[in-house]
Structure 1
Amino acid sequence: MPIIPRVAELQPDIQAWRRDLHAHPEVMYDVHRTAAFVAERLRAFGCDEVVTGLGQTGVVGVIKGRRPGGVIGLRADMDALPIEEETNLSYASKTPGKMHACGHDGHTAMLLGAAQYLAETRNFAGSAVVIFQPAEEGGAGALAMIEDGLMDRFGIQQVYGMHNNPGMPVGSFGLRPGPIMASMDRISINIEGRGGHAAYPHKTIDSVLVGSQLVVALQSIVSRSVNPLESAVLSICVFRAGEVGNVIPSTAELRGTVRTLKPEVRDLMEQRMNEVVQGIALQSGARIVLTYDRGYPVVVNHAAETDIAARVAGGIAGAAQVNTDLVPIMGAEDFAYMLEARPGAFIFCGNGDSAGLHHPAYNFNDDAIVFGTSYWVRLVETTLAA
């Protein structure tokens, strides 16, 4: 496998950076130590420009090639999760209740390694913009950076992202053109009935029964309103009502999430949810309020850029190790906003047989470093060929 020799030499340093970041996780926009860590190294590498504070705590480095040309953006996320780590690693989180359970420490370290190599060699025409983003985990840090001028300020013409994937062999890659990750919407439903003694249910409007009807009826939207050839997930994850075993509560609360791969299916889910809620409110006599909060959009890979990414990955891992028809993932990713702003592609790299993402025993696989870092380097050198 044609791993870049210099990247292999840099692997111990990249691994050390990754483990330092792992030991000091920070969440959402509060990534001040991580951002300073990144900015300090970008300056030491000799980046032509280093900008901090974009999108609150984002960091951007600009590396210019040997001659003028296009501009490519490479993005890594920096934030961790509010999870208590259970790995017992020597470099485990030193911050109670926070851990890098999604591999953003690895993403950041690999892009730092690529930045060092690109700043040393500059074997490309144009500019490579390395983007270190906060708040991917629910905070829409990508959108914050875009709204702070990311794309226009640096003249980014195309943009690429990468994420590790547990269960995929180390050294392999996966992607697809079109939708690759789902939109993510949050739903909350507040039910107001009429409470009373459990022995006299006919004198109440039972919020628990109404909530139970809603849980079942809402699933019929996916099974009977959505085309079976399309994808949609509706999950009610919170059902909160009552405190006493012989009292029918007057109120109940449901909360959950909706995931889709197409805007029209997303619209249909919201429309039908409102109709189902209204129907059960009329039938039961309860007052029901649905709040449908749209979050991250669908991650949609652009065809031409996906082809470029696949060819570059194939040059690193070998064509047999690149799945160009990866099954879409119903998880969400705010890189979607960057792909709405500019053409580009999102790719997965193998993390081997590890615990799953967001699991307290998860750990980024350091063996993946040379593959991910080499991919970033070759992507720049290919798209901005000198």
Structure 2
Amino acid sequence: MTPQDLERLIALRHDLHAAPEISGAEHATAQRIEDELRDLGADQILTGLGGTGLAAVFDGRAPGQTIGIRCELDALPIPEETNLSYASQVPGKGHLCGHDGHMVMVLGVAAALSRQRPETGRVVLIFQPAEETGEGAIAYRAAPEFGEIAPDIVLSLHNLPGLALGHVSLPRSAANCASRGARIRLTGRTSHAAAPQDGLSPATALAALMGQLSALGSGGQLDENYALTTVTHAELGEKTFGVSPGFAELWVTLRTVTDTRMDTLVDAVSHHVAVCAEAQGLTYHITYHDVFEACTNASNAVALLETACNAESVPITMTDTPQAFSEDFGQFGKSAQSAMFWLGAGEDQPQLHNPDYDFPDALISTGTGIFLRAIHTLIG
């Protein structure tokens, strides 16, 4: 990467940071990325994949494998609390996960490829929407155009506060937990607060389920038996003193290392809700949201990244422990060999999704360099 490239990418990162767009609404972000890719002379640009997603293709000089490099477009519905000159200008929204940095690293790859195409095969740069909701990768892969450019191997990264700046943590297999949000609605019958016996309050069932569902998963070691259930929201009736409540709603996040363990956890949740609701004479309804399947790295993609990090002299630690948070990147592993790695954002860096988080610009050249080295190792 040239100094001019880096200066331009930092400026672009700051522009993107100041204008965050949340999942499914990344229209201006996608247009800005498309403009950059056209200026860089991509051989093919596809738009509208999975909503606002894009793909840029850089063809090699001869036939060969297709390697994909993936990043995310979306920001978060969280107000930013920093004094940065480029802080979010959109109230209530912020790039507080570092996707602005991920985008410019992949654009750094595009800049290098614009000057030197690969020897064989092709590179597909994947700019994916709606990662934060778990909907983006599914929709992106479902787009008819994706079949035309589907990679044989696909790589991605996420910056990681708490890990030394510029260091890499690379999972050998399990990379991210599966998770989903269970939204449970209990319905009874309202009554006057002076005559609660004439109604059917879900208060007792709600209280019981908060304890029962929390007990289903207490976390612990991140292995195949890991399960964590977290109550995130509870609501009972109306905000009034005159009405005995007739409805309640409980939100619980379920988290496991494997999809198989998630299936058994979902069954357990359904069982407890059914038994508790029926014992109280209530009706119930459960829906699931923000569904993320487990993300598992493929061995040959891991080996490619390990080789790239070593060649770039990037400190690397191989690990058998996944991250507890979730990622929809695992969807790309259904049709390709895939791997994700963690790039340290600094041991004292505010945590992801914190209001004072900001992506470190020092990581741009490191991430771009790892991706480029992997590309040249695989296809020249």
Residue 263 of structure 1 corresponds to 259
- Check conservation: 2:222, 2:257, Cα contact below 8 A: no
The one-character-per-residue Cα deviations of 1:159-211 (angstroms, maximum 9, x if unpaired) are 11111111111211112122211222221111123444667666654422210
Helix, strand or coil at the partner of 1:96: coil
Query: What is the aligned counterpart of 2:7 among 7, 12, 24?
Result: 12
Identity %: 33
Indicate the residue corresponding to 1:357 in structure 2. Answer: 352
Counterpart among 151, 154, 158 of residue 156 in structure 1: 151
Contact 2:214/2:231 (<8 A) preserved: no
Q: Deviations over 1:199-232 (max 9, x none)?
A: 76666544222101001111232269x9986111
Q: Deviations over 1:253-312 (max 9, x none)?
A: 111221122122111011111111122123323223223457121111111211211221
Query: Alpha carbons of 1:304 and 1:227: their partners in 2 closer, same or farther (altered >3 Å)?
Result: closer
Q: Quote the Cα distance in structure 1 between the aligned partners of 2:224 and 2:60.
A: 46
Is 1:233–2:228 an aligned residue pair?
yes
* Among 198, 206, 209, the residue aligned to 1:214: 209
What one-letter code is carried by the residue in structure 2 that aligns with 1:62?
A: V
CA distance, structure 2, for counterparts of residue 229 and residue 73 of structure 1: 29
Following the alignment from structure 1 to structure 2, what is the Cα–Cα distance between the partners of residues 293 and 149? 25
Residue 3 of structure 1: aligned partner: none
Q: 1:55 to 1:204 in 2, by over 3 A?
A: closer
Q: 2:283 matched to which residue of 1? A: 287
Rounded to whole Å, the distance in 2 between the matches of 1:115 and 1:256 is 41
Cα shift readout 1:123-172 (whole Å, capped 9, x = no counterpart): 43221111111111215222212111354211421111111111111211
Distance 1:237 1:370, change over 3 A: same
The equivalent of 2:374 in structure 1 is: 379
- Equivalence for 1:296: 292
* Match in the other structure for 2:327: 333
TM-score by length of 2: 0.92
Q: Is the 8 A contact 1:28 1:139 kept in 2?
A: no
Given that residues 7 and 370 in structure 1 are in contact (C-alpha distance below 8 angstroms), is that contact kept between their aligned partners in structure 2? no
Taking the aligned partners of 1:343 and 1:284, their CA distance within structure 2 comes to 49
Distance 1:314 1:190, change over 3 A: same
Give the letter for the 1:260 counterpart: T
Cα gap change, 1:292/1:19 in structure 2, threshold over 3 Å: closer, same or farther? closer
Aligned to 2:316: 322
Q: What are the Cα deviations for residues 15-73 of structure 1, in whole angstroms up to 9, with x where unaligned?
A: 11111111111122222221121112212222211222222221111112333321101
Show the 5 A alignment for 1:58-69: 58-69=53-64
Residue 305 (structure 1) aligns with: 301
What's the Cα RMSD here? 2.3
2:184 is aligned to 189
Query: For the residues of structure 2 that align with 1:124 and 1:94, how far apart are their CA atoms?
Result: 43
- Match of 2:253, SS state, is strand
Structure-2 residue corresponding to 1:346:
340
Contact persistence 1:174–1:326 (CA under 8 A):
no
Q: Number of matched residues?
A: 377
Query: After the TM superposition, which of the residue ranges 200-209 and 53-62 deviates more from structure 2?
Result: 200-209
TM-score by length of 1: 0.91
Unaligned runs of 5+ in 2: none
Contact 1:317 1:371 in 2 (8 A): no
Q: Structure 2 vs 1, CA of residues 228 and 244 (structure 1 numbering), >3 Å: closer, same or farther? A: farther
Partner of 1:278: 274
**What is the rounded CA distance, in whole Å, between the counterparts of 2:296 and 2:222 in structure 1?**
20
The aligned amino acid for 1:99 is G
Partner of residue 87 from structure 1, selected from 72, 82, 85: 82
Q: Distance in 2 between matches of 1:235 and 1:272?
A: 14
State how far apart, in whole Å, the 2-side matches of 1:345 and 1:228 are. Answer: 19
Any stretches of 5+ residues in structure 1 without a counterpart? 1-5
Shift in alpha-carbon separation, 1:246–1:315, aligned structure 2, 3 A:
farther
2:249 counterpart letter in structure 1: E
Determine helix, strand or coil for the equivalent of 2:92: coil
**In 2, Cα distance between the equivalents of 1:367 and 1:58?**
26
Q: Distance in 2 between matches of 1:348 and 1:8?
A: 25
CA distance in 1, matches of 2:367, 2:250: 41
- How far apart in 1 are the matches of 2:360 and 2:188? 51
